[in-house]
Structure 1
Amino acid sequence: MNIKHSTLTFGTALLLPLATSAACDTDYAWIDKSCNHVSDIWNSGKQDLYLPLWTHHLRFAYDQDKIDSFREFTWGLGYGRSRYNAAGNWEGIYLMAFSDSHSNVQPMLGYGHQWMTGPTSGLHAGIGYTAFLTSRADIYKNFPIPGILPIASVNYRQYSLNTSYVPGGRGNGNILFFWSRLGF
């Protein structure tokens, strides 16, 4: 399967219904509430451009030969919509694709929430989580898998520098993933 095609199909199939809350009409109240919330972010949020920057493998978890085999510069791009809610916290939805440690394309579709401190008109910071679907060539042959990870950010107005920690053991995980987000 063509990775670029599957990434586009994967993201389009999940993001297009968000344009209308009519797509949220189910027989389950909790699904309706979550769907309406995501739809509200899509419709009332501002546009975001995501730029993956770096994947740092924590050196204590890997042999030097393994570190040398990894690609840590993470090229890619993403699009999302986000807003600051009534409590002043950031929430957003996004679709991003980037080069993983083995130079394979890794798509990621998710929702993020951060509790913020500081004025959003200037320097502010946040900590929270992201819940997402992703796929990797080395895990289930690109079959979509869910995940939840912690995220943190330092922001200046509409620009943010973000990181997430991917836990793991010896020889896997233990990664800091960095990306930037520009709201417009």
Structure 2
Amino acid sequence: MRSIAFCLGAGLLALGSPAALAADYTAAEPGFWQRSRDNVEATWRSDRYELYVPAVTWHNRAFYDRAKIDSFNERPWGLGFGRYRYDADGDWHALYAMAFLDSHKDVEPFVGYAYQKTWRPLDGWRLGAGFTAGVTARSDYSYIPLPAVLPLVSVEYRRLALQATYIPGGHNNGNVLFAWLRWQLD
């Protein structure tokens, strides 16, 4: 028993004192959830706003029957509004709400957070790739709130962006490219 206690004690001494261990722990980088919370909070506090105008809903013809395609709406009239910011690395963050006409011409709301890693290939131009995570509700699911995490890409020139996501799916559902214009108001 003494040898076990000695080994444990020696191991703790090799690692450092409990106070030193605590100091090392608090000096460590924040974890994923803390960074996520900090990003959402900083974006919420931003005083920069943008407008979203849905542009197109394209149903991937490789996954749909012709009759389904013919019955779908691919003009998603709607509007959205959000707060955005660029972080110290120049990456884009936003909190937003958007409502538009879905494939069945029913209103579909979406509320979420978005992040894009941003590259600047030319003066005034930005390319972005990232994700959006949020909640939507659809008439064909009785407007039950549905969580969604989707890819996000954009091509931007100064204050105007064409932004898009792809909703995966199976045969005759999902597999939709949804694109909108994003205008930074300030």
TM-score by length of structure 2 reads 0.78
- How far 1:124 moved relative to its partner? 1.1
- How far 1:37 moved relative to its partner? 3.0
Indicate the SS of the match to 2:108: strand
- How far 1:177 moved relative to its partner? 0.3
Give yes or no for the alignment of 1:153 onto 2:154.
yes
Q: 1:113 to 1:97 in 2, by over 3 A?
A: same
- How far 1:39 moved relative to its partner? 2.6
Q: 1:32 to 1:116 in 2, by over 3 A?
A: closer
The number of aligned residues is 155
Q: What is the match of residue 71 of structure 1?
A: 73
Q: What is the match of residue 42 of structure 1?
A: 44
Q: What is the match of residue 137 of structure 2?
A: 135
Mapped contact 1:120–1:157 kept (Cα < 8 A): no
Indicate the SS of the match to 1:138: helix
Q: 1:150 to 1:86 in 2, by over 3 A?
A: same
Q: Which amino acid aligns with 2:164?
A: T
Q: Which amino acid aligns with 2:162?
A: L
Q: What is the match of residue 98 of structure 2?
A: 96
Runs of 5+ unmatched residues, structure 1: 1-28
Mapped contact 1:80–1:92 kept (Cα < 8 A): yes
Indicate the SS of the match to 1:51: strand
Superposition RMSD on alpha carbons, in Å? 1.8
Indicate the SS of the match to 1:142: coil
Indicate the SS of the match to 2:45: helix
Structure with the greater alpha carbon radius of gyration:
2
CA distance in 2, matches of 1:116, 1:59: 30
Mapped contact 1:116–1:127 kept (Cα < 8 A): yes
- How far 1:43 moved relative to its partner? 1.7
The partner residue of 1:54 within 53, 56, 61 is: 56
CA distance in 1, matches of 2:49, 2:153: 20
Mapped contact 1:160–1:182 kept (Cα < 8 A): yes
Which digits, 9 at most, give the CA deviation of each residue in 1:42-78, with x for residues without a partner? 2224101010111000101111111000000010000
Runs of 5+ unmatched residues, structure 2: 1-30
Q: 1:154 to 1:163 in 2, by over 3 A?
A: same
Q: Which amino acid aligns with 2:92?
A: W
- How far 1:143 moved relative to its partner? 1.0
Mapped contact 1:120–1:156 kept (Cα < 8 A): no
Q: Which amino acid aligns with 1:150?
A: P
Mapped contact 1:57–1:175 kept (Cα < 8 A): yes
Q: What is the match of residue 175 of structure 2?
A: 174
CA distance in 2, matches of 1:92, 1:108: 13
Q: What is the match of residue 113 of structure 2?
A: 111
TM-score by length of structure 1 reads 0.79
- Identical amino acids, percent of aligned pairs: 45
